[in-house]
Amino acid sequence: MTFTDQLFGTQPDPPAVVILVTGGAALLLVLSGEPWRMARNVITIVHEGGHALVAVLVGRRLRGITLHADTSGVTVSRGKRDGPGMMCTAFAGYVAPSLIGLGLAALLAAGKITLLLWVLTALLLAVLVMIRNLYGVLSVLATGTVLVVVSLVTSPAVQAGFACLTVWFLLFGGVRPVWELQVKRHRGHARDSDADQLARLTGAPGFFWVAMFFLVALGATAVGGMWLVQPVFPT
């Protein structure tokens, strides 16, 4: 079988126990303390990648991405300081993990496990070329190395389990940062957050945009979760 056949071919659904166990593990990780702080770097990479992708799609000039050890990040682009393009760019970050998780859940439900892993690798490579600090480069390289090793070296069973864990983590991991954002806003520690930037751009209050982030994250988790557990509870 050629690499192309394997890439676009269909792999068997993961066993029901793998789907459920990885879902539970991802949920525990997102609800944890220090383990979540470390794993949150992955969510930050996707968050900033979402800003960057939408900035390019709406015609802004992407200057670069910076990732920090405290799991924060900044994406800088040039263009109009207001208007629909800037609004879409500001909105994209917090919903990116959930929406990418939803897309990957669709691939997993379709049996495209190999394609899922390589799509993730390609997305990381696209982010890597825009990173502008050493910590960010190391974070993306470390994440990408894990993906490449799993994709090239491990068995199909391990790849299926890793794919399940990754998708669950993106779905669940897209919800907690929105809650953390509102907690920071309530304490007055996030005056220049994406929600507050959107408030200044649109006139709608920042809490409205936090609620929109929540709706997208929860909706993606619900739909993606149903797709993932379908083999466990077939109709």
Domain boundaries, the chain: 15-46+95-229
Angstrom distance (rounded) from CA 175 to CA 71: 15
**Is 176 in contact with 182 (CB distance < 8 Å)?**
no
Angstrom distance (rounded) from CA 38 to CA 230: 30
18-49 pLDDT tens trace:
999 999 999 999 999 999 999 999 999 999 99
**Is 144 in contact with 43 (CB distance < 8 Å)?**
no
pTM: 0.94
User: Of all helices (H) and strands (E), which one includes residue 91?
Assistant: helix 84-109
Residues facing residue 201 across a β-bridge: none
Residue 8 has a pLDDT of 72
Angstrom distance (rounded) from CA 190 to CA 207: 12
Q: SS3 for 14?
A: coil
Angstrom distance (rounded) from CA 40 to CA 19: 22
Residues facing residue 78 across a β-bridge: 61
Residue 3 has a pLDDT of 65
Residue 235 has a pLDDT of 58
121-135 pLDDT tens trace:
999 999 999 999 999
User: Of all helices (H) and strands (E), which one includes residue 47?
Assistant: helix 34-57
Helix (DSSP H) and strand (DSSP E) numbers for the chain: 10, 2
Q: What are phi and psi of 232, to 5 degrees?
A: -80, -35
206-228 pLDDT tens trace:
999 999 999 999 999 999 999 99
